[in-house]
A = this chain, B = another copy of it.
Amino acid sequence: MENIDYIEIIGLCAAFLTTASFLPQVYKTWKTKDVSGLSLPMLTMFFTGVVLWLIYGLLLKSPSLILANGITTISIMLLFIFKIKYRNR
């Protein structure tokens, strides 16, 4: 149990850092409405990958993987909505 806690603290730090580096992109797209740099095929590929990481985390019962990829899944869904909403500006 002590070992699991120590491993999970490292995972949660990892989850915090990589998720937090992704959020400014979402914020920037929301503010600027500039979606020209977002490629739909790339976004779809990344989205599929993150959802698979989420499933992998659920199967391994890893709180860090579930947390990080849950938040990132929501973030990419927002980017999808922005891309479709603002593509013709």
Contact = CB atoms under 8 A, between A and B. Distances in A.
A77 interface: no
Interface residues of A, number: 26
A18 B49 contact: yes
A67 to B, nearest CB: 12
A18 B45 CA distance: 7
Given A16-B49, A49-B16, A56 B10 contact: yes
Could you tell me the dominant secondary structure of chain A's interface residues?
helix
A21 B45 contact: yes
Contacts of A52: 10-11, 13-14, 17
Contact of A10 (B7, B16, B20, B59): B59
A55 interface: yes
A48 interface: yes
B17 A46 contact: yes
